[in-house]
Structure 1
């Protein structure tokens, strides 16, 4: 019963945003996806990934005084020194919340959208299904504490997201790390709105079973 409800939630999320399911299939069937992200990443994104520690330092230093309490309240999510083992995102439905450093607000968070992680014969696909910006692409293993995302944003005027690297204006990469039990983050190599750094919080959507008793954290 739990699996049936979870499956229903997953397919419901794939239907968000009108044509979300169709664009997901377009991304998930890209041919010839290499297992090694080093074979696919652009020089620009490779440099950005290598310099991500510097970007984190600049981003946190630029947070205005009025927003520092909000930054601290996020705990390990926005602590660049925390990266736990097993960074792989399990297949399923996720809440995706954008946290943006810089830009007009200096530091801002958004309401959660929905993302999906789907494993198939080609690899592991990551699709943001709702919200203003929708990165979609592939997840790659890197080391014991980090995975790498290579993808592209869905065009603002609609249509499927292009393959990574096909359109430099839409291509984007990210680094995925686990920061607590069932909480991940994806730090992007590009930020919108003139920001310094965009980070997505990724938390699995837990199916709600009627009549069940919520678990109590130990």
Structure 2
């Protein structure tokens, strides 16, 4: 049943560019390209940004003011560039996703968690940020034994439909998913905002018994 729903979710966006399924926006991708690896889907700009993430990590951490160094350190492996563990794949379900932003004019900032949702199976996973003002959404692609690659687009809170990935460079978003502790992942974005050098989301599963766990 789940596989059938995912097939439908893929077919509809490909016909119309993008669609909203049960309140979650799916970003259109070429399914044949998705199966052949994320490098065949990513734009050249995002390929370069993903490859440049190690240098961005170094610059962002070095740019955090000394007065905020303890707050950065308190985040533990979440903000350590070499903290990625094996088995990075995000299990389907609801997540609390907390934005952490540092480096540049941002210094260091942590925001209240929003909610995100991962849907699919081992062959095809979509990621959607459901609440907040900036809403990345797209597909998770297998990469190494320590990371997945995220390719999608941004939409604003007032939009029901996001543009397809690759159709508007200003709206494209890419990043990597890494597991940093038991039941704790991060999505490191290649497009930091508001003067930051690095943006990442801490992703923590919502317990199934929690009312938020049924949020869509």
TM-score, normalised to structure 2's length? 0.81
Structure 1 residue ranges, 4+ long, deviating more than 3 angstroms after superposition:
20-23
Are residues 114 and 43 of structure 1, via their aligned partners in 2, closer, same or farther at CA, if it must alter by over 3 Å? Answer: same
- 8 A Cα contact 1:103 1:193, kept in partner: no
Q: In structure 1, what is the Cα distance between the partners aligned to 2:114 and 2:149?
A: 21
Are residues 62 and 146 of structure 1, via their aligned partners in 2, closer, same or farther at CA, if it must alter by over 3 Å? Answer: same
Are residues 198 and 132 of structure 1, via their aligned partners in 2, closer, same or farther at CA, if it must alter by over 3 Å? Answer: same
Are residues 82 and 121 of structure 1, via their aligned partners in 2, closer, same or farther at CA, if it must alter by over 3 Å? Answer: closer
Q: In structure 1, what is the Cα distance between the partners aligned to 2:38 and 2:142?
A: 8
**5+ residue gaps in structure 1?**
1-19, 210-218
| Larger proportion of strand | 2
Deviations 1:36-77 (A, max 9, x none): 101110111111111111000000000011111110000011
Structure 1 counterpart SS, 2:39 = helix
**5+ residue gaps in structure 2?**
1-19, 211-216
Match of 1:11 in 2: none
- 8 A Cα contact 1:101 1:195, kept in partner: yes
TM-score, normalised to structure 1's length? 0.81
Match of 1:58 in 2: 59
Deviations 1:154-203 (A, max 9, x none): 14652311111111111010111100111000110101112111011000
Report matched runs for 1:174-213 at 5 Å: 174-208=175-209
Q: In structure 1, what is the Cα distance between the partners aligned to 2:168 and 2:158?
A: 15
The CA deviation at 1:103 is 4.8
The CA deviation at 1:122 is 7.9
**Correspondence 1:80 to 2:81:** yes
